[in-house]
Every structure is written in C-alpha cells, then in structure tokens.
Structure 1
Amino acid sequence: MNKKLISFVRDVYQTNDFIPLHAPTFSGNEKAYVTDAIDSTFVSSVGKYVEDFEQHIEAYTGTAKAVATVNGTAALHTAMHMAGVKPGDLVITQALTFVATCNALYHMGAHPIFVDVSKVSLGLCPVATEAYLEKNAKLNSDGVCIHKSTGQRINAVVPMHTFGHPVELDELLAVCMKWKLILVEDAAESLGSFYKGKHTGTIGDFSAISFNGNKIITTGGGGMVLCSNLEAGNHTRHVTTTAKVPHPYEFYHDEPGFNYRLPNLNAALGCAQMEVLPTFLKQKRVLAEQYKTLFSGSHFQFVVEPEYAQSNYWLNAIICPDTDSRNVLLKETNEQGVMTRPIWQLMHRLPMFKNALKGDLTVSEWIEAHLINLPSSPSMLLQ
C-alpha cells in the first residue's frame, strides 16, 4: 500500500519533485489585486481590500460580522477575549489540537481543561464534555460554573473542527446552555465546511478562522473573527484596532485593545482567493473520494466527513492499523519526497501544559497513535 500511495500522489500532482502536505494555489487575480494595493499606497491595516475581504467572508459564511486579523492565533485570542474569558478562568478544549488553541489561552492567563474527542468528528466530544462537568463542576448560587476542586470559574468551551470536519455542535451547544458556558468555535481549519447547512463558526457566539499559507485559502498570514451579532462585531473591530476612538486628528483609546488588524496587502490576496474557493472545494472533494477509493478494502481507514456535515476536507487523513504501520508509512513516504505527517502531539504532553486539568483522553491517545495526514493541496487535475 505504501508504494501504491506514493504512486497515486505523484499521479495526482504530476511531478517527481517534493510534494508538500498542503501548498497554496494562486490561479486567479492574486497578483493583480496585490499590485493594486501596492499602487494605492494603502498597504497596512487601512485600505479597501480589508473591508472587501470581510464582506466576502460575511456573505459566504452568513455570519453577522467578520473582523480580519493578522493571523489565526490573534483571531482566537480576540474571540475568547470578546467571549469574556478572563485571567484565571478555565476553558474546556481538546488535547488533540494545534498548539495555537492553547497558546491563545496561555497568553490570556487562562487555563485549558483537556477533554476527549469523538471518533466521529475528531473534535471535542459532547458526551465526554458533559461527563467531565457532571463529575467536576457545579453551578453556584449566581449560576456561574465552578470547578469543584480548584474553585475557578469555567467560562467557555472551545472545540476545534479538526482538519475541517465539523464537531457535533448541537450537542455541545446543549451542554453549554446547561452549564452556562460560552461556545467559541476554533474554526481555523474549516472555511468551506458546513454543519447541518450552517457554516462552521456561525453557531458559537464567536469563532476564529485562519488564512495561514497552508489553509484552504491564504492571505499569507491572516485570520478572521466571526461574530454572531452586529453589535458584538463592531466592538470586536474596535478592540482589534487598538480601541482608537475615531477623530479627525486626536489619539484617544477608550479601552485596552489589540493591534491585530489585517494589512491591506494580505486582504487583497484573500479577496482573490475567495473568488476561487468554490473551485478549491470541488477539487478537494474529488481528491477525498479518490483517496477513499484507494484505501477501500485495505487495512487503512480513510477519515470521512460526519454524516451530519459537509467538510472542506482541508487535510485528508487515514487511520493506520497500528503504530508500527503508521511509523513505516511516515518513513517511506517522506523518504520518497511525499510529505505525510502524524497528528499533533497531544497538548497535555507539552511542557507548558503538562499540569493542566484533564479528563479521560483514551480516544485522543488512540487517534494520536494511528492517524496520518496525506497531501491535500487542490489540483487542477481534479476538476
């Protein structure tokens, strides 16, 4: 199977050169729009492309307000700040995630509680979340969720849509409502993914999208906060713009803010990428189906979208029979110039989060030991 996989990937991308996991594709108006931004001299956080890009995202996702930021971590930081996460708070999230989720919490002075993921979505499991809260939390007389053993407030739940596959949002939202918690979606990987017809990132009060160079569309570096209502969205934009109050010439800032606005140059790239997003999504679904066929009948299980969702298939993945076969496949593909990767090391194994509170992580540990990501760039050959 390993040789068959390598041959398949090289046939898809029609090259004997190194094949990355997910490379950016520029096939539209990217150069024209970036050049126009340069010619305008508005290359920083003020310029028409920033607002145009936000409007593109609003129209595509259906969110009330989108606020462009310099990167996905800044978007996460802003989203959790706007959700009311404070220093010392506890936030439920998954150990099976990219480190940015937890880095944003760390720099806020908040602390993660790691709860297990679902084999269905690879994202935060609502059953495990409810079980952890039943055992470890209580609502005080003011209706605030408190951790029984530490006395800290549990303020929010932050699921990540792993590889673009939407988590079980209705069930997680029900848990949040019962325990008076705020749902903040880490939708960094899931632009173009839909949960029961609704775009990911539009169910929680706030969410974050990433436009890093390896995402389904890119602005080079960039992110976006999705806000569930216009008032919150306008406040979010204000906070990300150093909280500067508009004035013809005076500098006055009415609250602590962030210098997180996306530069116009990056937004110009994003506007062009949004124009070809439907093509990328089509290509990636064709590739996912071909991977599914390739591994059909083998000992490797291709990871498919949950039945309730439509995934962007940002990164395709397989579940290997065991860790040994996973390691052999990783070694042989990478030696042949076909990039494959294991999933991230679980967050509680990292030194800065080793003492974090956690529940049972059996499923997360099993996925960590078995999963491999495969080359997933869009390809014109997959129209």
Structure 2
Amino acid sequence: MGDNNLKVIQADQFYNQITDLSPYQFQLLAQGDSWFSMSTANIPASSNMLLNMTFTKMAVAIDCAYPGRTLKQMAELPKIADWRQSPYFRGLLFGPREQWWSALLLSGGGNDMIDALQVLPGDEHSTTLCVDRLLRMPDEWGAQSDVTKYIMEDGWMKFVQYLISHYCAIDQARLASKYNKDVPIITHLYDYATPRNSGAGLGVGPWLYKAVQSYHIPVEDWKALSTEFMRRLAGVICALDKNPPQQASTLPPPPIAITPLDNFHVVWTLGTLSPADTTDTGPTQDWYNEIHPTKAGYQELANLMVPVIESVCNSRHALANNLLTMSTKAAPARNLLRKTTAAKRKVA
C-alpha cells in the first residue's frame, strides 16, 4: 500500500461536467467551512485539512465547503440573497448529480458559534442566526469564580437547540438520498483558538477578539473563556455520535437531551495544536490567524482524521460488497422461482 494524497475537486467544477471517479477507491463528498476550504486572503499561504490528507488508497473529495459558511447555511436550501449557500451539496447528495459516496465529510458549527458570540444586546433576533446572545455585559456578570460568570446560560441552551436542528436537517438530507441513506457522516471537533487581534486579511476577522472586546471581558480570562466555549461545542457534537471518542466523557454535558444520529462519527481534535497567546498578532507555530491553523497545524489535524475516514469507508465498502454478493447469489434462485411460477400458471 502506498501513500496517496487526497485529490480535491471543487464542487462547482465537478457539478457541470463529466469527471470519471472510478479510479478512486474512496469517493468522498465534503461540506463545510474554511477548515475544508480557505483560511486566509493570502492565497499562497492558505491551506485546509483536506489538502493535507494522505490515504493508503486512492481517494477523491468533491469539495462543497466555503469560508465562513455556517451549519445553518449548509443545511438549508440555497437562497439567492445568501452568497455562502450553493446548490451543489444537495444536488450531489440527493439531487440530479447524486451518486454513491463512500462517506460525507462535514466541518461545521464553529462559524455558528463565532457569529453567536458576536451578537450584541438588542441585536439577538436581527442577525442571520436569529439566536439569543451568549455573553453577559459587565453589569450582568454572575457571582461564579470561573469564566461561566460571563455566559448567558439560557442563550447557550437555545443555541444548542439551534445547532441540533441543523445537524438533524443535514441528516434528513441524507435520508432523502436514493443511494446514500446510510452514508457515514464524519466530522471533527475544533481546537483551542485564542482571542487575539489576528484576522485573515482584507478586513476579514478577527472574530473572537471582537466578541471579548465588545463585552469587556478581562484579557486574563480570554483564553479560558474561549476554551470553555470550544469544549461546550465539542460536547454537543460528540453527543450526536452513538460511540463518541473516549475523551468526550471529560466535556461539559449539553444542557438538553440529544438523540445521537445513525452512522455519525466524530474525530477528536481538541488539544492537538499549540495555542497562540493573546498578544500574538501574526502566525504562530500552529495558528495562521485567530481561528485558522497553519499548514503544519492542518497536517496534524488531518493525521487524526484519515485513520477514522479509512476505517469507516472500508466498513461501508465491505458491507456494500457483501450485499452485492448476496444479491448475485440469490439471482439464480429468483429466476428459478419465476420460471416455476410461470410454468404452474401455464398448467393451470
């Protein structure tokens, strides 16, 4: 077995032309945010997790991801007014260009939380998310001795409900498919991003930095507060996996009961990268900017995802081959039954 870099084809290039995927043993459909697309306006320096995946078999991913895309935008039908939505994902999963996929790779939830953290008092339902705010102003801070005193728990509960509704919408899109009702969904957690004044360029970002500044969070609590939210988000995502990573038991439990999804697999990535400091304004060892890893960072994350993807895809292929073998063996018996039934009708 050799090393095979994942072939990544953009969905808009693939959708309207005939591309032969038969040489690839693993045929993957990817949907997500910048961790599967582009991390910075500096194109030569940009990377993502998909571009750093290497498999033991030939693999291709049709990439529907786009920077800044939220789970809500991934789950809903495209709207002309929302340029971050596109028809390709649904068209490839259960629409005109549907085919049998080895797995669905998903990178989502991070932008939803970042957007929700930036919702200010009075703006709760004027945003595209239509969620309550997650942070408290200084005159609302609780009496707790840790960073939970800054968190609006009611807002967090409603945000979790919002997240789950859109994960379930993606699951419903899978169930609408002819060939992919049981296609595995493989997703990752994020990692501990540090609020800092480091954007992606061209006026994009920073993100967490804006939130902690707007809510006047003391700088000494920035990292701990971001860590708390990243762990809470991870707890929600892991709750959707019937067999979550072992480390999930250390996460804060979601505030509501969550029913796991069928064939939903979570890859543990928390704590993989070396965190930046709040004073860092440029690239660090593992982080290119506030919320996007460097190429080396993405490589570390990709190395965690690939074994899970290979294992899940091999199981799906084995099951499909077994069903095909059983169907082939049963064909002669079905033909004999048809002939016998036809003969009996003639005698009658």
Same fold (TM over 0.5): no
TM-score scaled by structure 1? 0.22
Q: Please, what TM-score do these two structures have when normalized by structure 2? A: 0.23
Q: When you count strand as a share of all residues, which structure comes out higher?
A: 1
| Structure with greater Cα Rg | 2
- Of the two structures, which has the highest relative contact order with CA contacts closer than 8 Å and spacing of 6 or more? 1
